[in-house]
Structure 1
């Protein structure tokens, strides 16, 4: 079905259009709804690469890398970690072949996040440091800032407070000096997400007051369209409230996160929210926590007692 003479600019434009639609839909609806579309488009791009004319190959490699990167993120959200890693590696290979330093840096960021999430923060640091190096090769402040916060997350998880704070401050400095790119591969990043990462890092480093302040500020800046990011920021805020024994407030914001997650299904996000509820177990008999359990049950969550 796929012949070299059928591969032209319009063919690739159709795949790029599908990618852009999938990116927007994933932010709103989550991976369960969108992954089949991304997987299909990735298979088409891979088949086209086998027969692509030389002049179109770089463009095809770029869109294949972006699709594989997006598929990796979706597998990550669905807790299919091995599939996520394989997709990221495919994305990195295509990005390198295309000579796209921006995509290489983005994929390395996500490989770092995946490694840290899986309990290997030192491997996460390896990937993050490589991402920082590649990101410095391009005029993309959002990407450079994202690489810094990903490094900070790995440093915080491994208990390296000074390195974490240095990376967080570097991320903020880059954003303060302008994004440097009109169309960034890290389009989703910005001051709100940077503050969410700061809150998470502060929580991991045992600095509840700083975590609380950063979480509140992040929620003021993360747009309504970024459903998952807002849900994660609410969880960040819940952690800070729990550390301060502000149980009523903690239960309220866990409920806010659960409501957002109900509209944007993600196994990983659901696990994060369920874990936040589990931290409230010592106060399970409190009215606010019982009300939270009822609300979460309405949203389809199970709770841990």
Structure 2
């Protein structure tokens, strides 16, 4: 009701686009009456922005991060885009003392939006969001966030088939990550570099980066409030498995994939699905078709609850590797399962 009463002013905040109005309602709905009034006044008159109103945007960001891990980008991206628009609008009239904090939250929202666009295979939009995130991180003087965004830019470039550009971004990310006291972030920068090196066939550089990631991870365990909070032994092993597969070392890829699944928490749906695909690649290399079909099916079940076009494509690609055994019962059963969950497979 409040949103409708103040629709004109809110549309000005969002540049005339009504898509942000549900996000405003969602933010206000979680507040008590006093805080709702405070935040409402800030949205109508951005010059009133204060620490408390920025804190509410930060809280909404943290909720979006968790929702994205569980449900995927299609469910969460509109909310994040609206929150990003709010932060950008408030920056125009915020006092100087609050701008570093606002630039930080704007950068965090932009990089999260970039990751979601990446998951939806909207690669140009992902790149644009990451560049906006990098610019805001520099404006905030937030070296940790700069390093994280550069990691994401590297991963995106490598994924798009430009691993040399991915190496450029990864090397920059390593430099920024080494300048801060965050072992998890340093480890993440190293595995991203390893992925880019492996994708360009540079085995020695990739293996060295993976070992450096393990060393940094030891220092990073227990790190509080890391921007790479999602990183850990399980994800690091998943990257190792992927790199080993790309470098033609199937046995090492298999071992790392099995270990990663033991360590990746249930809340990280996509990471677990990716680890299952890593394991499938290793099984296929070893001509273990029943096992490969089973773990691709596990990934498909997870993907159904966390919609991601990129993840669906990865799973479909793993299924495509089973084409020589398309008539096997286990593969036909896998096709039926993927069809039930709305994922593409060879028969579709």
TM bracket (short chain) = over 0.9
Correspondences of 1:235-250 after superposition (within 5 Å): 235-250=277-292
Aligned residue among 95, 108, 129 for 1:66: 108
2:183–2:218 contact (8 Å) kept in structure 1? no
How far apart, in 2, do the equivalents of 1:166 and 1:190 lie? 18
Q: Distance in 1 between matches of 2:105 and 2:344?
A: 39
The structure 1 segments of at least 4 consecutive aligned residues displaced by more than 6 Å after TM superposition are none
The number of equivalent residue pairs is: 305
Question: Residues of 1 paired with 2:344 and 2:58: CA distance?
Answer: 38
Matches within 5 A, 1:1-305: 1=9, 2-179=44-221, 181-305=223-347
Q: Which runs of 5+ in 1 are unaligned?
A: none
Compute the RMSD of aligned alpha carbons.
Answer: 0.9
Distance in 1, Cα, partners of 2:111 & 2:345: 32
CA-CA distance at 1:11 after TM superposition: 1.2
Distance in 1 of aligned mates of 2:74 and 2:65: 13
Residues in 1 aligned to 2:162 and 2:46: alpha-carbon distance in whole angstroms: 44
Calculate the TM-score normalised by the size of structure 2. Answer: 0.86
Q: CA deviation at 1:180?
A: 6.5
Q: Distance in 2 between the 1:190 and 1:282 partners?
A: 36
- In structure 2, the gaps of 5 or more residues are 1-8, 10-43
CA distance in 1, matches of 2:133, 2:222: 24
Q: Quick check: 169-178 or 14-23, which moved more?
A: 169-178
Give the superposition deviation at 1:266: 0.1
- Structure number with greater CO (CA < 8 Å, separation at least 6) is 1
Question: How does the TM-score come out when normalised to structure 1?
Answer: 0.99
For residues 122 and 101 of structure 2, what CA distance do their matches in structure 1 show? 29
Q: What's the CA shift for 1:160? A: 0.1
Instruction: Measure, in 1, the Cα distance between the counterparts of 2:220 and 2:132.
Output: 31
